[in-house]
Structures are given as structure tokens and as C-alpha cells.
Amino acid sequence: MTVAPSPAAASAGSAAAAPASRTVARVVAGMPAEDGAGVRLTRLVGQPRLPDLDPLLMLDRIQSDDPGAYIAGFPPHPHRGFETVTYLVQGRMRHRDNHGHEGLITDGGVQWMTAGRGIEHSEMPEQTDGLLFGFQLWLNLPAAEKMREPWYRDIPAADLARLTPAPGVAVTLIAGRWDAAEGPAPQRSTAPFIADVALAPGAAVDIPIPAGHAAFVHPFAGSVTLGPAGEGERVHDGWLAVLGEGAAVRAAADADAPTGARLLVVAGRPLHEPIAKYGPFVMNTRDEVIQAVDDYRAGRF
């Protein structure tokens, strides 16, 4: 005989099945900065208020309708010891490096570049429909992989995973898993999770961030409330919320928001290794950084 569970038992079962929502540990304001040949941007991670969030080393936001803010781009420059992930919400970025790779990422596309033991490349931005808008994330490599062969891949927008996990929610998944969907990014020791989440006014969703991962949410349109229902913290466009522990984070857009909200959600498995940074080189020790500078000057990249 099958006995139906009582309402109380059913409610308890539902609560047990729901993911434990992360809360906001701190909120950080972006810092105006310049990089490359005078490109004006906002630095969210990799600045004095948030030097890094192991293994997430840097996040830059570039957004301008003024070509003078970025037209000189990022002329040839070196990297060693980490990966760059460039996501263009709108615009184009032309890439060329000293290992023979050349490509163009366009609206909604991603470039994933593993610098490894060393690469020199250039990145030249362009507008589409009068706007350049995108992000670049620096993702650390473990010590055992810092000297691996460089690797590069353009991922067009059409190849990114798309899903609608709740009413009024549209997700573009770059890296990691969300239910049965998997982003096309390469498999890495840091097991990154990267998603662009769009919320219609009043929409809410539980974003499945792997437990133990360091994570942040950056609203880049509108405002969002992050955390358990009734207990969340409101975070506005341009700020970055560092998340506490948990298996997911609940995100909700204001019901009276004219256009809802849009979020960049990033997480990675911490490496728990020393970090030695010097400009475009990220190693584990000062001596390794000095060696990287010597190798680059000697033409060994």
C-alpha cells in the first residue's frame, strides 16, 4: 500500500532538496583604470579592494560608445602562468599572437587563451552598432600547469549553451554545468563556472555554483537581490558581490524594474597555492617571476 506523505513531511522534503543559498560576504565597487595603450576600463577584481579571489585573479569591464576610450587597444604584450577569458557582450576583438594564432571574436563570443609557459599577443577592440562592451577574466593555473604549452580557442556565440531554468530567466553558459547543460569551455583543474544570467522583472532563480568554489556575481544591467528569499542583499549595476559558502545562490530581480537585471556569475575551485604577480606574469614565487621576465626579454616565449 502506498501512503501519501503528510503536507508537513512533503514540505520538509522539499526544503531538504532545495540548495543551500549562498549569501553575500562583501560588496566591492569597481575601480576606474587604464591598461594597454590607454584603454579605459573598470577593474573589479585585481584592485586594492579585492586583489584576487583564488583562483580568480582579475576581472575587467570595458564599456564605451566612445572609440577614443579604447581605439589604441592592447598592442603586443606577454603573459605567463594563467589563462585569459574574454567575453564580448557587444563588439569585436581581434587577436594575434606569436604562436601563429589569429582570430576575431564578435558579439556574444568568447576567447579562451591559456598563456601557460609564455605567449605574446595583441588584442584590438572594435565597436558594433556604436558600442564596445565586454569582460576579461584572468584565471590562475596550478603550479604543475603554469609551464604547459600555450593554447587558444575562439568560441562563437552560437556554440555557447543556452537554457531557461525558470520563468523569465535566460542563461548563457560559458563554463561549468547547469542541470543537463554544459558550457563549451575547456576542462580545467579550477573547474570554472561562468554564466551570463538575464532576469526579467520579478524573475528569480537558484544559480548552481559548486560547493567549495570561490564565487562572485557582477550585475551589469539593473539590480539584483542575492541570497535566501526574504534575507538577500541588493546589489546594483557596476558593483561586485563576493559570495559566501553554499551550493547555489538565489538571484531575484525587482518586480518594478523596467528591464530586469543581467548578471555575470563566476566561480572557480581554489588552488590554495602562493601567488606571485608582476604585471602580465602570475607565478608561485618571486624567483619564478624574475625568470619569466628574463625569458621574455631573451625571446624564449
Give tens-digit pLDDT for 200-217.
999 999 999 999 999 999
pLDDT mean across residues, the chain:
91
Q: What is the mean pLDDT of residues 174-186?
A: 97
Identify the CA nearest to 271 among candidates 115, 54, 84, 83.
Answer: 54
Q: Vertex 61, ends 126 and 43: CA angle to 5°?
A: 130
**pLDDT attached to residue 71:** 77
The pLDDT, as a whole number, for residue 21 is 86
Q: pTM for this one?
A: 0.91
- Across 163-192, average pLDDT: 97
**In the structure, what pLDDT confidence band is assigned to residue 39 with cuts at 50, 70 and 90?**
confident
Q: What is the 3-state secondary structure (H, E, C) of the chain?
A: CCCCCCHHHHHHHHHHHCCCECCEEEEEECEEEEECCCEEEEEEECECCECCECCEEEEEEEEECCHHHCCCCEEEEEEECEEEEEEEEECEEEEEECCCCEEEECCCCEEEEECCCCEEEEEEEECECCEEEEEEEEEECCHHHCCCCCEEEEECHHHCEEECCCCCEEEEEEECEECCEECCCCCCCCCCEEEEEEECCCCEEEECCCCCCEEEEEEEECEEEECCCCCCEEEECCEEEEECCCCEEEEEECCCCCCCEEEEEEEECCCCCCCEEECCEEECCHHHHHHHHHHHHCCCC
- Give the tens place of pLDDT for each residue, 226-264: 999 888 999 999 999 999 999 999 999 999 888 999 999
**Is 70 exceeded by the pLDDT of residue 4?**
no
288-295: average pLDDT:
98
Angle, CA 64 vertex, CA 58 and CA 68 arms, to 5°: 105
Lowest mean pLDDT among 19-23, 149-153, 237-241, 258-262: 19-23
**How much is the pLDDT for 12?**
37
The pLDDT value recorded for residue 19 is 58
Contact 36, 72 (CB under 8 A): yes
